[in-house]
Homo-oligomer: A and B are copies of this chain.
């Protein structure tokens, strides 16, 4: 049987600052390739949805030192790495039937050939509103990241007041809900960009959500954190982190999850107010969700989230995802919405036929 023809987005110029989507030296290039036919225990996948994750920016950075990355970088000429939800269209593996939906590292490709063991079968459940895309969102990496960073890394308990930045993002919106509805935190404060997102974050359970785009942001944040806070879940780094160092209680804990505000910046201004860490004995811990998976904790964590979804406490409705129907040639453009705050909840690329 002839191999499947597919289009693929390849990393052509690792970016130092903003990814470049046009011109002579674009970050990504569109190529067409004929895949090998699937071999023994392999499957041919058709990609339906792509996961857009801020972490992907780290994998392609021009200055990335492979020795320092937690995963191999994507190098020049590689297909851009991404998680995807895909359908098995051809199978040489007993464990995966044609038509099965799977989660896999498909990359930015229309089709992919992978070993069956690299594919995780998923079971959406219409009755409780669990859709295929939830496995790359609330019930996937972002949900797990939220649970692990909040409960394990920051050791958050019900008596804590928690602040989370990027609160309208895939991970942040789950942090808000897990803090409020699973941990039962005293007070949960979100930080997000724009009125609409802030009100949405409050609808998820945040006691208040502060708009970082507002001219009164600094004062609003001070007011929202009067009396200071025990836990800060940081998705953004940069200026908001510098401000939050001044809003931590003595012996407060910061879960350092991401720094999306800085991923595309060259010569950023760095983190200010370091002295607060010393005089207020702040603890900061960086983490990567794969640590939870390797420690065998992910199953239990996802079960707790699913239980809470079924009880109607954690909301994963349509407004918790921004699903962008995208022509294959526009995949990089949709991905870049991550860095302009274009999404509410999980940003998903739905590949248009």
Q: Residues of A with Cβ closer than 8 Å to B?
A: 58, 65, 68-70, 237, 241-242, 246, 250, 256-259, 262-263, 268-272, 274-288, 291
- Shortest Cβ distance from A246 into B: residue: B68
Asked whether B275 lies within 8 Å of A281 as measured between CB atoms, the reply is: no
Whether B287 and A284, one on each chain, are in contact in the complex, defined by CB atoms closer than 8 angstroms, is no
Chain B neighbourhood of A277, CB < 8 A: 256, 284, 286
How distant is A276 from chain B, measured CB to nearest CB, in Å? 7
12 A-B pairs whose Cβ atoms sit less than 8 Å apart in the complex? A68-B246, A68-B280, A70-B279, A70-B280, A258-B278, A262-B275, A271-B274, A278-B286, A279-B288, A280-B286, A281-B288, A281-B291
Given A284-B283, A286-B282, A291-B281, verify A275-B259 contact (CB < 8 Å).
yes
Chain B contacts of A287 at CB under 8 A? 278, 281
CA distance A270 to B262 in the complex (A): 13
Question: What residues of B have a CB within 8 angstroms of the CB of A241 in the complex?
Answer: 274
Instruction: Please determine whether B274 and A272 come into contact, CB atoms closer than 8 angstroms.
Output: no
How long is the Cα–Cα vector from A70 to B268 in the complex, in angstroms? 30
Min CB–CB distance A333 → chain B (angstroms): 25
A280–B276 alpha-carbon span in the complex (Å): 22
Q: A58-B279, A70-B279, A269-B269 are in contact. List 13 more A-B contacts (CB 8 A).
A: A58-B275, A65-B246, A256-B274, A256-B278, A269-B270, A277-B286, A278-B287, A281-B286, A282-B285, A282-B286, A283-B284, A283-B285, A283-B286
